[in-house]
């Protein structure tokens, strides 16, 4: 049973901060989320548990804040804007939350520099690895240079999920089909 410490500067005997470990554990138990960067697009997808109308937009800020603190502790200088921008922009794909390891492994195997709809499909495929109910419990936001940020409608997500399922069915049928004689 873990012991909860209220002080943020309490270190474990091996040098870890307990509060950071508690926060990371809370993230691991949270909803599944995936982010993928294409050549001209950024896609964020999450498993939704309830239909909340207002979403928490603080996750990138949290990542940036943690990296800034780590940089400050390591280098003993304030982080530069250029450094933190490059740090965040260097991420090509990542997953967090429940079953994030499964999604991360999927992304490591299947990530390719893509653009547009293929990047959206990759993010949704990664979420479908862990989401039980198909597209009903998935929300996807897409950001492009031309259109800015927009959230995909349920019908768009359902169409992409149907396309992914059709591709999977075709791949399964191709595996089961007897080899053609030449």
Specify the pLDDT at position 52. 38
Specify the pLDDT at position 57. 46
Specify the pLDDT at position 41. 83
DSSP 8-state symbol, 134: G
Specify the pLDDT at position 103. 85
CA-to-CA distance for 65 and 58, rounded, in angstroms?
10
Mention every residue, 6+ apart, whose C-beta is less than 8 A from residue 145.
40
User: Contact at 8 Å (CB) between 41 and 142?
Assistant: yes
Regions of the chain where pLDDT drops below 70: 1-8, 48-59, 180-182
DSSP 8-state symbol, 92: -
Specify the pLDDT at position 4. 56
> pLDDT tens-digit profile of 86-102?
787 777 787 877 787 88
* Cα dihedral sign, 60-125-136-134: negative
Specify the pLDDT at position 160. 92
DSSP 8-state symbol, 15: S
Show the CA angle centred on residue 174, arms to residues 100 and 128, nearest 5°. Answer: 20
CA-to-CA distance for 112 and 37, rounded, in angstroms?
10
Specify the pLDDT at position 1. 46
Q: What domains can be seen in the chain, in order of their start residue?
A: 22-48+57-173 (3.60.20.10)
User: Contact at 8 Å (CB) between 31 and 139?
Assistant: no
User: Contact at 8 Å (CB) between 45 and 140?
Assistant: yes
Q: How many CB atoms lie within 10 A of CB 171?
A: 10
pTM for this model (two decimals): 0.59
């Amino acid at each position: 049973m873990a012991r909860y410490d209220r002080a943020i500067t309490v270190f474990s005997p091996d040098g870890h901060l307990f509060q950071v470990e508690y926060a990371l554990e809370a993230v691991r138990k949270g909803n599944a989320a995936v982010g993928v960067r294409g050549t001209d697009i950024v896609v964020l997808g999450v498993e939704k548990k309830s239909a909340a109308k207002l979403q928490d937009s603080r996750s990138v800020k949290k990542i940036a804040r943690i990296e800034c603190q780590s940089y400050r502790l390591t280098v003993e200088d304030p982080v530069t804007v250029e450094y933190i921008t490059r740090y965040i922009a260097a991420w090509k794909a990542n997953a967090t939350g429940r079953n994030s390891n499964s999604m991360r492994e999927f992304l490591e195997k299947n990530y390719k520099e893509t653009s547009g709809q293929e990047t959206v499909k990759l993010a949704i495929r990664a979420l479908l690895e862990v989401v039980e109910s198909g597209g009903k419990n998935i929300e996807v936001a897409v950001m492009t240079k031309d259109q800015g940020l927009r959230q995909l409608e349920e019908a768009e997500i359902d169409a992409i999920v149907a396309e992914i399922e059709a591709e999977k069915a075709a791949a399964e049928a191709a595996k089961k089909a007897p080899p053609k004689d030449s």
